[in-house]
Amino acid sequence: MLAVSDEVSEVLTASRLEELDADVIASCGDLPWDYLEYLVTVTNKPLVYVPGNHDPAPRRNLSAALGIPLVPGVSSTAGRGRTGPEGCINIDRAIVDVAGLRVAGLGGSMRYSEGPYQYTEAEMSRRSRRLQRRARVRRLRDGRGVDVLVTHAPPLDLGDERDRAHRGFGSFHGLVEVLTPKVMLHGHIHPHGRALEDRQIGETRVLNAVGYRLVEVDA
């Protein structure tokens, strides 16, 4: 799994992507849509993503729904009417099976200003409980658990920072304990030259994906 987040990496050229040979790409948020579209186009591999606190809110474009461009010569699906990067799968509050893995996602950060993907601890706790219920239903159906959890923010006190904008969520600890994924991927915390340590919640590895990193996950 190629995990990306927050920072566009000029290292990920077409030849480098071919060399990495990932089976699936996971974005932890705050990346331009055209960058995600580039990754999925060049690799021809599935890409799942959650929104970050700087991502734009999707807006339904009435002209796109009707197939009538508002501006002559401009596609009705262009610009602000788009609901997300084309060819990519939004897994915010969802669970999907992709490339042999079961992947769950929760986007957004701690609320510090106005924004479509900012939440209080109580709001994120409710979102986490809904995701837990969906995971239990899926497990009852086929006996399979979640392999990878993708979030934008980290868990509280695990690689987060003390300022309000970059605090992690305490509810993520309970979420990981219930889902027991092999790996939790997050972004939001920029290393700024610091070495990033991998962390653990029980048997789950917690990894910061800012920039990019290649992660092996057993299906």
Give the CATH number for residue 14.
Answer: 3.60.21.10
Q: What is the pLDDT along the chain (219 residues), one digit of tens a residue?
A: 999 999 999 999 999 999 999 999 999 999 999 999 999 999 999 999 999 999 988 765 434 444 444 333 333 334 445 789 999 999 999 999 999 999 999 999 999 998 899 999 999 999 999 999 999 999 999 999 999 999 999 999 998 998 999 999 999 999 999 999 999 999 999 987 777 789 999 999 999 999 999 999 987
* Residue 11 counted as domain residue: yes
* Residue 97 counted as domain residue: yes
- d(C-alpha 172, C-alpha 29), whole Å: 17
* Residue 101 counted as domain residue: yes
* Residue 197 counted as domain residue: yes
Long-range CB contacts (within 8 A, 24+) of 31-36: 31/4, 31/5, 31/6, 31/7, 32/8, 33/82, 33/84, 33/85, 33/86, 34/85, 35/8, 36/85, 36/88
179: left (phi over 0), alpha (psi -120 to 50) or beta: alpha
The helix (run of H) or strand (run of E) holding residue 172 is helix 171-179
* Residue 219 counted as domain residue: no
- d(C-alpha 45, C-alpha 98), whole Å: 10
Range of 145's domain?
A: 2-58+66-214
- Total structural domains in the chain? 1
